[in-house]
Amino acid sequence: MASAKRLPVVDEFGFYEIRLDAIGGLGAHLAGQMLGEAAVLKMGLNALHFSAYGSEKKGSPIRSFLRFAEPDQEIRSCSPVEQPHMVAIFHDALLRTPGCLAGLRENGTLIINSRKKLEDLERFGLPTDCTVYLIDALTIA
């Protein structure tokens, strides 16, 4: 195992939290599992991952939640991440859904999978106090 890494920022409970918003079939659940496993096995952190979704079918909304903590801190909370430090949106059409950007912390990070330009997405009320990254992941895949 690699030596433990330090988390960049934590909340009042000592956690760094991520929420992945996606449409079923785009890989948010698997991505969350992989991030959590990598944090534990390769970074020496504690991690918790779980997903919330309705019917298990392609095209249904899904939210995947991750919590990271330093190696000496246990993670006992399995409640949904309400105020994430990072939000990743797997399809820009999700910006139309209520709550997609809810709770993102000030100075947080927003990652959006989109082929559009930032100016085209500003009508969805993107936060101005966060770092926004646009990634054309469909083309990369």
How high is the pLDDT of residue 98?
Answer: 82
How high is the pLDDT of residue 2?
Answer: 56
The residue whose two tokens read 């106090």 is 129
The residue whose two tokens read 């990598």 is 38
What does each C-alpha distance from 28 to 49, 74, 89, 114, 136 come to in angstroms? 11, 24, 9, 15, 16
pLDDT tens per residue across all 141 residues of the chain: 456 678 888 898 999 999 999 988 888 999 999 999 999 999 999 999 999 887 666 778 899 999 999 999 999 988 999 999 999 999 999 999 888 999 999 999 999 999 999 999 989 999 999 999 999 998 887
How high is the pLDDT of residue 87?
Answer: 97
How high is the pLDDT of residue 129?
Answer: 94
What's the predicted TM-score (pTM) here? 0.90
d(CA 83, CA 105): 6
106, 130 contact by CB (below 8 A): yes
